[in-house]
Amino acid sequence: MNQKYIENSLVILISLIPISILIGPAISLANILIFDFLFIIILFLRKDFEWINSSVVKILLILYLYLIFNSLIAQQPELSLLRNLGFIRLIILFVGINYFLNKSVNLKLIFKVWSLTILIVVIDIFIEKNFGKNILGYSAVNSIGSQRIVSFFKDEAIPGSFIHAFSFMLVGFFVMKFKEIKINFNIYLTSLIILTLFASVVITGERSNSIKFLISFILFLVLFNEIKTIKKIIIFCFISLIITLTVSSNEYLKGRATNTTIYLINSYKNSFQSPNPLPGGNPYAELNRSGFEVFKKYPFFGVGNKNYRYESCKKGVNKYYYCETHPHQIYFEFLSEHGSIGGAILIILFFAIFFKIIKIIILKKNHISLGCFIYLLTIFTPLLPSGSFFTDYNLTLFFVNMSVMYGSIKELNIFNHVRKI
C-alpha cells in the first residue's frame, strides 16, 4: 500500500471531521475509526513510536486506564464498557492530528476546509433564523417544537456549541494569516469575524453556549498580547453594544436572555434549598440536584460512566432523582458517575494537560493554540448547563481542540518534542 496515498487520505479525513459531525454521530465515528486504522498502518510503516514517551500521551493513557477501571466498578458495567474502551480512538486521533499538523502545508489545507464548513453553517443559521427553515428544510419548530435553531443537526439544537468549538482556533488561524497586513486592519477584521460568529451563536437561542462564547472572547482579548489595552476596551465595548442591540431587538432572544435567565437563577436556589422536589421547576436545577443525590449515595467512584441514567430512573429510591441520560452539568456528571476520587482524577489529568503548556502558547504567540486552550477552558465553566462530556459529539470536539492545541506549535507537537512530566 502506497504510504503517500494513505497520508493524503488521512489529511482529507481530518479535513472532513466537522462535516462528518454535521452529518451525524455514526458518520463522525466511522470517519475517526477509518482514520485511526489507516494511521496505525502509517506508524508501523515508519516504525515511529517515540511519541509514546511524550508526557501528554502518558497522561492520556493513564486516563484510559482509569476509565477501564471505572467500567469494572460501575453499577452496570455493560453500559459504560463500550464507551470507555472506545476512548482509545480519541488518543489515536490526538497522535494522528499531531503527526499531520507537523507539516504547515497540511495545517493550511485542513483549516481552509474547516473555515469553509463553519462559514456554511453560520450562513445556514442566519437563513433558518430569517426564513424559519435551513437550506435543507430543517426547522426546530417542526422537529423539536422550539424556536431555537437546529441548522444541519435536524432535530438537535446544538449548532451554537458546534460553532463555538471551532471559532477561536479558526480566528487564531486568520490572525496568523493576517500577519503580513498592518496591525490595525488585522484587529478590526478579526473583530468582525468574532462578532459574526458570536451573533450566529446568540441567535441559536443557546444561552449556555452564548455565555461560554462571551467568556472565550474576553479571555482571547485579554491574552492577545499584540493589542494595546485601550484598543481591547474599545473592541469589547463595541461588540458588547452590537450584541445588546441584537438581543433587545428580538423578543424571543430577549426573553431567553433576561426573564428566563432570572427564572433559572431563582429556581436553582429554590431547588437546592427546598426540602421537597419541585415539580414543574427548572429541569436543569432538578437534574443537578439529582446528580448530587447520586453522588451522595456513591461518594467515592460514583455509579460509573453512562450509569447515571440507570440509577436515576430507579423508581422509589430517592424523591430527588430526575430520570434522564445525564445531569446536564459537567461537574455534577463527574460527581455522580465518577465520585469524588474519580472526578478529581479526571480534573487533575485534564488540567495537567492544559496548564503545563499555557506559558509556551503565550510566549510563542500562537493564536491557533490559544484559541483551542480558551475553548477547552470554557468546557469546565461551573454552573452552566452542558451536554454529557463523554458523548461522541462532545468528546470529538474536545479532542480536536486539544490535538490542534498541541499539534500547531512545534515545541509542543509530540512528533517534534518529547516533554517530560
Sign of CA dihedral 128, 156, 385, 29: negative
Is-contact 194 217, C-beta < 8 A?
yes
**pLDDT at position 58, please?**
95
The helix (H) or strand (E) run that includes residue 29 is helix 25-46
d(CA 368, CA 401): 10
Q: With 0.85 as the threshold, say if the pTM is over it.
A: yes
d(CA 249, CA 223): 32
d(CA 319, CA 12): 51
The DSSP call for residue 320 is T
**pLDDT at position 222, please?**
84
Neighbours of 61 (CB within 10 A): 13
Backbone φ, ψ for residue 327 (5° rounding): -75, 0
The DSSP call for residue 301 is T
Is-contact 390 342, C-beta < 8 A?
no
The number of C-alpha atoms within 13 Å of 392 and in the hemisphere containing its C-beta is 20
Q: Can you spell out the DSSP letters for 321-355?
A: ---SSS-SSHHHHHHHHHHHHHHHHHHHHHHHHHH
**pLDDT at position 299, please?**
96
CA angle, residues 169, 172, 174, in degrees to nearest 5: 115
Cell of 176: 496568523
Neighbours of 97 (CB within 10 A): 28
**pLDDT at position 419, please?**
45
Length of the chain in terms of residues written: 421
Cell of 406: 498541541
Low-confidence ranges of the chain (pLDDT < 50): 263, 279, 419-421
d(CA 374, CA 17): 20
**pLDDT at position 28, please?**
96
Is-contact 294 303, C-beta < 8 A?
yes
d(CA 350, CA 339): 16
- DSSP H helices, 151-206, are 159-177, 183-202
**pLDDT at position 281, please?**
61
d(CA 222, CA 260): 30
d(CA 284, CA 267): 9
